[in-house]
């Protein structure tokens, strides 16, 4: 799964790397993003890529917002089987921008947080879905798949990560690519293009959102 991540990359770099046409004015560096918080998201609309904020934790448009438990992750293997996702895969595909995410490894002394990044330390995006609640909020979920060999010793699932622009375009451009065509990107990211390191247990609390969260333990 994916339950916590970071985005510390300057907005100018994000705009350039992901070819964003329409974007928000600024973003604040985030070291410990948690569910229910706002996340920087991209959609494609009429051929243009637009960046804005969504609330992490999907609430379908038909759900009772007072009773529904937001879905922070969606299993990519069963998207077409789940009422919460199967209608979204055709027209409400999106990505969420990140430059690292956390998982917790069980060791003798307890659970130890581990940060995963690209070896290049450049930002990437998570494949996701979005919907609009009955009261107008735009919510989102991050899709997951089986873990690669780097992540598997820590967790058996991983978020679907994209950095290649062809893959991003295929997922975002719902006018040009059907879900069947786009679904080829729903796979594990190559472990040889990633790295990991242990970080401070400060990450354990979403109240902590400072640079110390991403420093090696």
Number of helical H runs and strand E runs in the chain = 4, 13
pLDDT exceeds cutoff 90 at 108? no
Structure tokens at 10: 């300057």
* Mean pLDDT of all residues in 39-64: 95
pLDDT of residue 25: 78
Which residue in the list 103, 180, 211, 212 is annotated as catalytic? 103
In whole numbers, what is the pLDDT of the chain averaged over residues? Answer: 96
Identify whether 12 is a catalytic site residue.
no
Closest to 33 measured CA to CA, from 213, 216, 164: 213
List, for residues 129-146, the tens digit of each pLDDT value.
Answer: 999 998 999 999 999 999
At 78, is the pLDDT very low, low, confident or very high (cuts 50, 70, 90)? very high
Tell me what percent of the residues of the chain surpass a pLDDT of 70: 100
DSSP collapsed to 3 states, 2-19: CCCEEECCCHHHHHHHCC
Q: In this model, does residue 1 exceed pLDDT 80?
A: no
Alpha helices (runs of H) in the chain, residue ranges in sequence order: 11-17, 88-91, 165-172, 179-182
2 pLDDT higher than 90: no
Q: How far is CA 213 from the centre of its chain?
A: 18
Model pLDDT for residues 162-186, shown as the tens digit of each residue: 989 999 999 999 999 999 999 999 9
Query: Which range of residues forms the domain containing residue 124?
Result: 5-214
Q: What is the pLDDT of residues 201-217, one digit of tens each?
A: 999 999 999 999 999 98
Catalytic annotation present for 103: yes
The percent of the chain in helix, strand and coil, each rounded to the nearest 5, is 20, 40, 40
Catalytic hit among 2, 109, 181, 191? 2
Distance CA 37, CA 187 (A): 26
CATH number at residue 59: 3.90.1680.10
Hey, how many other C-beta atoms are within 10 angstroms of the C-beta on 29?
A: 14
* Cα 203 to Cα 69: distance, rounded to the nearest angstrom: 23
Q: pLDDT band at 99, cuts 50/70/90?
A: very high
**Could you tell me the pTM of the whole model?**
0.96
Q: What angle do CA 53, 54, 57 make, to 5 degrees?
A: 150
- The number of folded domains in the chain is 1
Q: Give the confidence band of 94 by pLDDT, cuts at 50, 70, 90.
A: very high
């Amino acid at each position: 799964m994916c339950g916590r991540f970071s985005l510390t990359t300057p907005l100018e770099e994000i705009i350039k790397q992901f070819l964003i046409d329409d974007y928000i004015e600024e973003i604040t560096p985030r070291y410990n993003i948690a569910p229910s918080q706002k996340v920087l998201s991209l959609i494609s609309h009429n051929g243009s890529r637009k960046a804005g904020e969504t609330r992490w934790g999907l609430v379908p448009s038909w759900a009772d917002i007072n009773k529904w438990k937001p879905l922070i992750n969606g299993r990519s293997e069963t998207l077409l089987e789940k009422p919460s996702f199967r209608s979204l895969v055709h027209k409400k595909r999106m990505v969420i921008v990140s430059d690292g995410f956390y998982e917790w490894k069980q060791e003798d002394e307890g659970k130890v947080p581990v940060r995963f990044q690209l070896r290049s330390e450049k930002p990437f995006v998570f494949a996701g879905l979005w919907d609009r609640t009955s009261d107008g909020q735009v919510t989102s979920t991050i899709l997951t798949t089986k873990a690669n060999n780097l992540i598997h010793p820590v967790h058996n699932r991983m978020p679907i990560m994209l950095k290649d622009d062809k893959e991003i375009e295929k997922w975002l451009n719902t006018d040009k690519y059907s879900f069947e065509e786009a679904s080829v990107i729903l796979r594990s990211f190559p472990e040889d293009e990633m790295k990991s390191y242990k970080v401070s247990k400060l990450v354990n609390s979403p109240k902590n959102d400072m640079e110390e969260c991403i420093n090696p333990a």
